[in-house]
């Protein structure tokens, strides 16, 4: 079972679906299109409110001309050890100034969610049983001190000029 989670809790009746051979969007749902299909659809129409799923090998910069037409961008984490979606999310938020929903899909694990939040991901398609249980219990792990820049605001923590402390949302 897959559920959508945000920092405010679980989302009911989310319309977005990553289509696969087994799963297709129904009439009441919206498909998250692969990058090439999204670009093809955007070039052929003036549609807005579109959704796209970015795979690890995709060049997220190709989305730039269409960002204002997107309601959601999903970044795919196909395996726990493939972190390219972290780079995609950071690029979308910091360099391309994407402001709408940014969702993690794929292998979303509980210990990675705080890191995903830090790069600007704001919703999560969670199917991992442990992650679902911990989120239901409100047990999200924290990362209080960090060194790298982030899409989220952080305060200096003292001691070292580059160390930052996470500010609760």
**Is the residue at 157 inside a domain?**
no
CB distance 104 to 86 below 8 Å: no
Question: pLDDT tens for residues 99-112?
Answer: 999 999 999 999 99
Q: Which CATH number covers residue 52? A: 3.20.20.70
Exposed (0-12), middle (13-18) or buried (19+): which is 140, by Cβ within 10 Å?
middle
Rounded to two decimals, the pTM is 0.85
Average pLDDT, the chain: 88
**Is the residue at 154 inside a domain?**
no
**150 vs 31, residue with greater confidence:** 31
pLDDT at residue 80, as a whole number: 86
Q: How many domains does the chain have?
A: 1
- What is d(CA 57, CA 73) in angstroms, rounded to the nearest whole number? 15
Would you place residue 21 in the very low, low, confident or very high pLDDT band (cuts 50, 70, 90)?
confident
Question: pLDDT tens for residues 32-57?
Answer: 999 999 999 999 999 999 999 999 99
**Is the residue at 87 inside a domain?**
yes
**Is the residue at 163 inside a domain?**
no
Its domain, for residue 39, covers 3-143
Which DSSP helix (H) or strand (E) runs through 88? Answer: helix 84-90
**Is the residue at 166 inside a domain?**
no
pLDDT at residue 26, as a whole number: 87
**Is the residue at 165 inside a domain?**
no
- What is d(CA 117, CA 141) in angstroms, rounded to the nearest whole number? 12
Q: Name the pairing type of β-strands 145-146 and 164-166.
A: antiparallel
């Amino acid at each position: 079972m897959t559920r959508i989670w945000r920092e405010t809790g679980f989302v009911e009746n989310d319309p977005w679906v990553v289509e696969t051979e087994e799963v297709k969007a129904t009439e009441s749902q919206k498909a998250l299109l692969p990058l090439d299909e999204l670009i093809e659809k955007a070039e052929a129409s003036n549609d807005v409110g579109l959704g796209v799923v970015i795979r690890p090998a995709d060049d997220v910069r190709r989305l730039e001309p269409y960002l204002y037409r997107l309601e959601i961008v999903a970044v795919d984490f196909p395996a726990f050890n493939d972190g390219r979606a972290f780079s995609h999310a950071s690029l979308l938020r910091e360099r391309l100034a994407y402001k709408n929903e940014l969702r993690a899909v794929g292998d979303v694990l509980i210990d990675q969610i705080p890191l995903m939040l830090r790069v600007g991901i704001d919703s999560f398609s969670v199917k991992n049983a442990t992650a679902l249980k911990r989120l239901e219990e409100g047990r999200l792990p924290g990362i209080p001190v960090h060194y790298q820049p982030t899409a989220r605001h952080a305060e200096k923590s003292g001691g070292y000029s580059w160390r930052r402390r996470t500010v609760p949302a």
